[in-house]
Amino acid sequence: MAVVSALAVYRARVVPRVRRELREWRRVAAAIPDPALRADALAAIDEKGLNVEATSVFAILAPRRTRAAALRAMVALQVAIDYLDTLGEQRSAGDSAYLDRLFGSFRESARALPSHDAVSAPLERAVARCGEGQHYTHAAEHGEGAALESWARAQDAAAVYRWWEVAAGASSSVAAHALLAAGADPRTSAAEAESIDAAYFPPIGALTVLLDDLIDRDEDIAAGAHNYMGYYADSEDAADRLDLLTHLARAAIATLRHPHRHAAILSGVAGFYLSDDGAATPYARPVRDRLLRSTGPAVRPIVLVMRRRRRH
């Protein structure tokens, strides 16, 4: 099965390299002079390191000989995004030298990719969109929800999407990672890069953020934190919409080169979140049950494997 084969490559060849890269960035973070900023940087890696592993799944799209450069770019970018997200949660400023080093490594590795010129415009757009999305999402936690809605409605997205689905999709980094993988392939054209960005934003990006918020919903409610699932009327409305997003995502990736590998990534994303205990709450169950049907037959075994991993 193509999904199993692709995810086996991820586990055997990608994850070990990602963990080495993370250890190196943790060493860099541990050298930040200011103790408070150092603690923020280390917390971002320690608490969100699984995000880096998860987004590195896009490396399975890269040719083997250029995969290492793509991975270096992916890891540096996601560590930077997670650090900025941690700072946004606390409304604090970070260590500029550390951020410069992260983004410098990301850009240097991206420029080394054979199709960097073809992907550079949508890649920079995706990175900027993610940063803006996180900024406005954090602002909504502090009573600035109208600004988030206004910003989301100004994005270039089809009318089929609700504004908060656009906002969720924009705040995801998955389009940037898919474009880095495309940049590693010398055959990628500028037109193909635009098609990849359109496939991941909004539908796949929205799914990743909404599923993350689904499993965190009860915790976020208790903490008074912003959660995109709160915009849906109820769990049945949410189930209908996430099912639609899944179908839109599957239709979009079917037009791309390597559609089976993109489908494997979508299955992996769904399985990762649906395996979490947070997907078994009374609110989440209708969404989980619907997506287990609509995301394809490969998702159920992924859920079972991920449940075993989470428990050991």
Return the amino acid letter for 163: W
Contacts of 97 (CB under 8 A, 6+ apart): 32
If one compares 221 and 6, the residue with the highest pLDDT of the two is 221
* Res 25: pLDDT: 98
pTM of the model: 0.93
CA separation for the pair 139, 3 (Å, rounded)? 38
Average pLDDT over residues 121-147: 94
- Dihedral sign, CA of 42, 46, 52, 53? positive
Q: How confident is the model at residue 12 (pLDDT cuts 50, 70, 90)?
A: confident
Average pLDDT over residues 224-241: 96
Kindly report the CATH number that applies to the domain delimited by 2-311: 1.10.600.10
What is the chain's mean pLDDT, rounded? 93
pLDDT one-digit tens code per residue, 255-287:
999 899 899 899 888 988 999 999 999 999 999
Lowest-confidence range among 70-84, 86-100, 111-125? 86-100
pLDDT beyond 70 at 9: yes
* Res 201: pLDDT: 97
* Res 239: pLDDT: 97
Residue extents of the structural domains in the chain: 2-311
Determine what percent of the chain is predicted with pLDDT higher than 70. Answer: 97
Q: How confident is the model at residue 2 (pLDDT cuts 50, 70, 90)?
A: low
